[in-house]
Chain A
Amino acid sequence: MDFIAIFSIFVLACFVGYFVVWSVTPALHTPLMSVTNAISSVIIVGALIASAAAGSPLSKWLGLAAVVMASVNIFGGFAVTERMLAMYKKKER
């Protein structure tokens, strides 16, 4: 993909983000933060590539360290979001 193609995806995703986030109910803003936290750890993709690549040992170890950090975030972020969302209950009628 050339830069313009990637940049187009980025700009359009910003617009999608803008509209999707405004539609999030304020009651769920804390879970919104924890789940965005979890998904921004998709950076683990870069960490995996670095840790798998041969050539530079330092690069590999940085990659592995990033894999650990991103995993903490992914598992922790989704789990704590799930825990919070499970608490939201409707009135029993």
Chain B
Amino acid sequence: MHEVAPINPWVALAYLVAGVCFILALRGLSSPASSRRGNRFGMAGMTIAVVTTLLTHELANPVEVIGAIAIGAVIGLVMARRIAMTAMPQLVAAFHSLVGLAAVAVAAAAYLNPGAFGIADATGQIFTVSRIEMGLGVAIGAITFSGSVIAFLKLNGNMSGAPIILPLRHVINLGTLAAILGLIGYFLTDQSPAVFWTITALSFLIGFLLIIPIGGADMPVVVSMLNSYSGWAAAAMGFTLHNSAMIITGALVGSSGAILSYIMCRAMNRSFISVIAGGFGADAAAAGGAAKEQRPWKPGSAEDAAFLMSQADNVIIVPGYGMAVAQAQHALREMADMLKKEGVNVKYAIHPVAGRMPGHMNVLLAEANVPYDEVFELEDINNEFAQCDVAFVIGANDVTNPAAKTDKTSPIYGMPVLDVEKAKTVLFVKRSMGGVGYAGVDNDVFYMDQTMMLLGDAKKMADDIVKALGEGH
């Protein structure tokens, strides 16, 4: 083993404490009640890590460093305060891109000045292990950056959500990945700048190529996946710097993103490989359009809906992203409040992919002051539909489609869905009968005897129901 500069045990201990604080930060999120304390642990851990670093390294120019932190703090705080909750996926993607770019910058700085990081011998030769770590760090960081930029542009609507399919993309992607890994191997024998910067450039390219073919519907998986990458990038840099706080954090964040990706894939019944391979949503319209026939359906009005729900004992509300797009969450909560006043038992049922990122719908409902103990996850509430009087579907479609359970030819077959069709009455708020969901398939629930279609804008419909409920007295 090579000589590494001796590390002050107190410093190592401080970084370990910071790492433990980060574990506690995530642990706090096991329930909303302990979550804010968890977040404070996270802040404490970060403070310990930063202060320890500042105290143990001679700052060439403290003003510059403090200034840099202050600039970042102002930008970050303004973004955090201004962002709309519906735009949270974009914000998270933007933050991921910054972690990625910061990792690239740190890896590049370490490459240019290895002596400062204690990873080179007297002649300036970077240690072998450090070269692997540095190569992987810069590669993962660059992929995280360019991938997140594309994810941001797609989520923010600056770029079409439709997948962009390049011919031979699998060959190009695998070739580029192989080239990156090969170059990292070659980097062990030759630390010349050309090798390092080629690895960096190719990694930026592959991040871009990996995300452009992925369609809008798969974005929750992509955002989770990039979350994971940003963690692995931090871990790789932690190896380079022999820093336990960075390694622990990187491992936590890496596993977190990986688990969220897995949960999102499972919720859409998509394999991780097929998401990465991309192209979902490109040919979906063709798949669903074939069996289109005119079938009778029953229209209803806001007054009908108000009457039915006020007479019910149990109402389950199924919100989807369309509800958030129409900004109907406040009107919806008002409707639920009025129903509760009439003695109706109201619950919300959330499908894991109801929003644009994991847990997104829960945040949107929380913002509209819906108490979190009225909001239930799919597996916790699905068997209650059979006993409920009214299922009120607003802005959701594919996640209620029974074809996922019965029709093997359906593109969404196998996806877990909410069993709304088991309710005595289904009220389905939808803009028009023409449009179909993300997957482009027709939904049998529209044509069932117990279903009443409430056609119109989600917010206007919720407002009208509130008005009708008010007049009922």
Give chain A's interface residues, CB within 8 Å of chain B.
1-3, 6-7, 9-11, 13-14, 16-18, 20-56, 58-60, 62-92
Q: Is B227 at the interface (CB under 8 A from chain A)?
A: yes
Q: Which residues of A contact B259 (CB under 8 A)?
A: 18, 21-22
Q: Which residues of A contact B224 (CB under 8 A)?
A: 33
A–B pairs, 9, beta carbons within 8 Å:
A6-B242, A29-B260, A35-B29, A35-B42, A36-B231, A40-B99, A52-B65, A74-B73, A84-B88
Known pairs A33-B223, A42-B18, A43-B106; A17 contacts B116 (CB<8 A): no
Q: Is B122 at the interface (CB under 8 A from chain A)?
A: no
A79 and B80 contacting across the interface, CB-CB below 8 Å: yes
10 closest A-B pairs by beta carbon, nearest first, are A71-B72, A29-B359, A76-B76, A53-B116, A17-B255, A75-B76, A13-B251, A50-B109, A79-B80, A29-B358
A43 and B234 contacting across the interface, CB-CB below 8 Å: yes
Please report which residues of chain B, range 1-59, place their CB below 8 angstroms from some CB of chain A when the two chains form the complex: 1, 4, 7, 12, 15, 18-19, 22-23, 25-27, 29-33, 35-36, 38-39, 42-43, 45-46, 49-50, 53-54, 57-59
- Smallest Cβ-Cβ distance to B64: which chain A residue: A64
- Smallest Cβ-Cβ distance to B74: which chain A residue: A75
**Which of the four size classes fits the interface of chain B?**
35 or more
B366 and A87 contacting across the interface, CB-CB below 8 Å: yes
A72 and B1 contacting across the interface, CB-CB below 8 Å: no
Most chain A CB within 10 A, of B26, B109, B234, B357, is at B109
Give a binary string over B128-139; 1 marks a CB under 8 Å from any A CB, 0 the rest.
010000000000
Q: Which residues of B contact A62 (CB under 8 A)?
A: 105-106, 108-109, 112
B72 and A72 contacting across the interface, CB-CB below 8 Å: yes
Q: Which residues of B contact A86 (CB under 8 A)?
A: 36
Q: Which residues of B contact A42 (CB under 8 A)?
A: 18, 22, 45-46, 49, 234, 245-246, 249
**Complex partner residue of A13 from B19, B95, B363, CB under 8 angstroms:** B19
Known pairs A1-B242, A30-B359; A40 contacts B249 (CB<8 A): yes
- Smallest Cβ-Cβ distance to B340: which chain A residue: A91
B29 and A65 contacting across the interface, CB-CB below 8 Å: no
* B81 nearest CB across to chain A (Å): 7
The CA of A58 and the CA of B421, in the complex, are separated in Å by 63
Q: Is B315 at the interface (CB under 8 A from chain A)?
A: no
Contact segment of B182-190, B371-379, B438-446: B371-379
Q: Which residues of A contact B7 (CB under 8 A)?
A: 1
Most chain A CB within 10 A, of B81, B83, B103, is at B103
Q: Which residues of A contact B109 (CB under 8 A)?
A: 46-47, 50-51, 56, 58-60, 62-63, 66
- Smallest Cβ-Cβ distance to B21: which chain A residue: A39
B77 and A46 contacting across the interface, CB-CB below 8 Å: no
* A19 nearest CB across to chain B (Å): 9
Q: Which residues of A contact B65 (CB under 8 A)?
A: 48, 51-52, 64, 67
B362 and A2 contacting across the interface, CB-CB below 8 Å: no
The CA of A79 and the CA of B256, in the complex, are separated in Å by 20
Q: A68-B68, A74-B76 are in contact. List 4 more A-B contacts (CB 8 A).
A: A2-B1, A7-B239, A13-B248, A27-B375
Known pairs A30-B362, A50-B109; A83 contacts B223 (CB<8 A): no
The CA of A58 and the CA of B108, in the complex, are separated in Å by 9
- Smallest Cβ-Cβ distance to B144: which chain A residue: A40
- Smallest Cβ-Cβ distance to B31: which chain A residue: A25
The CA of A28 and the CA of B359, in the complex, are separated in Å by 6
The CA of A24 and the CA of B39, in the complex, are separated in Å by 13
A80 and B251 contacting across the interface, CB-CB below 8 Å: no
Q: Which residues of A contact B238 (CB under 8 A)?
A: 6, 10
